[in-house]
Amino acid sequence: MTTDASVPNPQVPREARRRRTFAVISHPDAGKSTLTEALLLHARAITSAGATHGKAGRSGTVSDWMEMEKARGISVTSAAIQFEYHDAVINLVDTPGHADFSEDTFRVLSAVDAAVMLVDAAKGLEPQTMKLFAVCKQRGLPVITVINKWDRPGDTPLALMDEIQTRTGLLPTPLNWPVGEAGDLRGVLDRRSGDFLRYTRTAGGATVAESVRLDAADAAKEEGPAWASAVEESDLLDAESQNHDSELFLDGQTTPVLFCAAVANFGVQQLLDTLVEFAPPAEARIDIDGNPRKVTSPFSGFVFKVQSGMNSAHRDHVAFVRVCSGEFRRGMIVTHAATGRPFATKYAQQLFGKERTVTDQAWPGDIVGLVNASALRVGDSIFEDERVEFPPLPLFSPEHFRAIRPVDSSKHKQFRRGIDQLDHEGVIQVMRSEVRGEQAPVLGAVGPMQFEVVEDRMVHDFHADIRMEALPYQVARKTDKESALVLAGTRQVEVFTRSDGTLLALFSTPWRLQAIAKENPKLVLIDIANATADDFM
C-alpha cells in the first residue's frame, strides 16, 4: 500500500513528541562510554554493562565497537543507539571524546536536540568539554549536566556549581544533591521531593544498582551529619533560586545538574527520567534558507555520518540519516537534494551500536541507517515530495598532513578503494597534485590520531598495508587558480586539489603564510570553513 506524502500522517506529531535525541559530550576519560552503557542497562536495553577497560567478566561497550576503540578504551567514532524507556523512544548518539575527532563530534551535534555534558567530579570542566559546550551554545542545544565519579575523591559540590556558572554562563539548577562527600557517596537528596535515594552497590557495576527511597526523617536517622549537610546546602541553592525551570532550561539560560557514579550505576535512573521529562522532543528544524521545517511536513532528513566496516561479513557502508520531518517508510522513493536524483530506500536499518536490524518506519528525531546508498555524503539532504535542503556541514581546517603510499604496489586497487571510501565517509581529507601524481595522495587531518584510524581501517577493512610520511606543513588556506600559479613556485608552500575540487595551499608555518600574504596582497587565501579546528582544540 502506498502513502500519499501530501496528506499529513496523524501519527507524526505523536511519534515526534515521544522522541528524545541527544548526544553525550565530555573530555576524554570522564566516563562517557561507561555512562552510555549504564543508561542502556537501566532502560533494560542490555542485561549487563560493559567496561572500556575490560575488567574480568565484563564485555566491551555497545558504543565502542571498533577494534581500535576496544584496545585503547576511547571512542574514536560516533555511534547511534536507539532504545525505548517507558513511553519514550531514546536516540542516543555517542561522540568521540578526543579532540582529534572534533569534526565527527560537530556533525553529531548537528543531528541532536539536546546534550548531556559529563563532568569528572575531580577535574571539573576540562578544555575539550568547554569546546564542545561552545558548539552546543552556538547551536542552541539545551544542556543537562551530569557530575560523574562521585564515588571517588573530588571537588566539593558547591565549588563545582560555581565553576559551571562562571565558565559556561549557565545557572546550574541541581535536581539532586549528593549525600556524602566525593569518594563516600551514600546516595542523593531528591531536591523536588525532599526524599533520600540510597543506592545498593552491585559487583563491578555490571548490573542495575537498585535504589531505596527514604523520607527525610528516616534519612536523618540513618545518615546523620551527611544528610544534614546535604539539606543545608540544598537550602542554600533554594535561597539563590537555583531550582529547575523548564522554560529557562530550553532557552539556554540554565542547566539541570545530576550527581552520579556511572561505573557503579548510581544516579543513572534519574538521568533517564530527566531526559524523558525535560529534554525537548523532535521539533521543527531550520533549513538552508532559514525557514523552519515542521515535523508534520513530508519526509526529510540529512546525513551526518557515513560509516563502512560495521559488518565484517559484507563490504557495505551505512549513511546515518537524522529524520527531520514526516514519516520514513522503508522502500520509499526519496530525492537527493544535491543531485535532484531519486533513489529507493530499500535497505533501511535501525542502529544499536554496531548491531543493525531492519526497520520499516521511522519518525522525526530517529536515526536511520541507509545501507549502500553510495551517492550520499556527509551533509547531504534527502526529501520526499516537498523540496528542502538543510545547512551543509563545514569541513574543518586540517593542521596535520601525511603523504600516503601502499606498501605493496600490487595492491594499489585495494589502496585506492580504501582511500576513496575513507574520504567519502569524511574520516580524512584527501588531496592530490600534479607534482606528486595520482598515485601519491596527501591526507589532511584535524588531529594526528585520525591517521592512526586511517592505518587501522586500511589494514583491517581493505587489506592494504600503507606507509605515511609526515609533511612539513601546519596551515591550509583555500585559494584560486590564479593564486595557485603564483604559489606553485614559492618556497615552503605546496598547492593541492582536495577531492571536492577545492584548491588548498599548504604553508610550513603561520608566519610563512603571513609573510607571503604581505608580499602578495592580491593572493586569494581564505579559511576553509567558518568552523575550524582551532575552535575545538
DSSP one-letter code for 221: H
Listing DSSP states for 110-153 in one string gives TS-SEEEEEEETTTBS-HHHHHHHHHHHHHT--EEEEEE-TTS-
Coil/strand/helix, residue 14 = helix
64 annotated ligand binder? no
Cell of 223: 545518615
d(CA 444, CA 429): 5
Q: Are the C-beta atoms of 162 and 232 separated by less than 8 Å? A: no
96 annotated ligand binder? yes
d(CA 125, CA 117): 10
394 annotated ligand binder? no
Q: Are the C-beta atoms of 475 and 494 separated by less than 8 Å? A: no
The Cα angle at residue 78 between residues 72 and 83, in degrees rounded to 5: 110
User: Given the DSSP bridges, would you call strands 114-120 and 19-25 parallel, antiparallel or unpaired?
Assistant: parallel
Q: Are the C-beta atoms of 342 and 397 separated by less than 8 Å? A: no
State how far the alpha carbon of 400 is from the alpha carbons of 452, 471, 514, 533, in Å: 12, 8, 19, 11
Tell me how far the alpha carbon of residue 238 is from its chain's centroid: 34
Phi then psi for residue 34, to 5 deg, are -65, -40
Name the nearest CA neighbour of 430 among 351, 504, 480: 504
Cell of 536: 575545538
Q: How many CB atoms lie within 10 A of CB 474?
A: 17
β-partners of residue 3 are none
Name the nearest CA neighbour of 179 among 202, 140, 131, 212: 212
Q: Are the C-beta atoms of 248 and 170 separated by less than 8 Å? A: no
Q: Which amino acid is at 58?
A: R
Q: How deeply is 252 buried, as exposed, middle or buried, from its count of CB atoms within 10 A (0-12, 13-18, 19+)?
A: middle
97 annotated ligand binder? yes
Q: How deeply is 417 buried, as exposed, middle or buried, from its count of CB atoms within 10 A (0-12, 13-18, 19+)?
A: middle
Residue positions in the annotated binding site for GTP? 94-98
Residue positions in the annotated binding site? 94-98
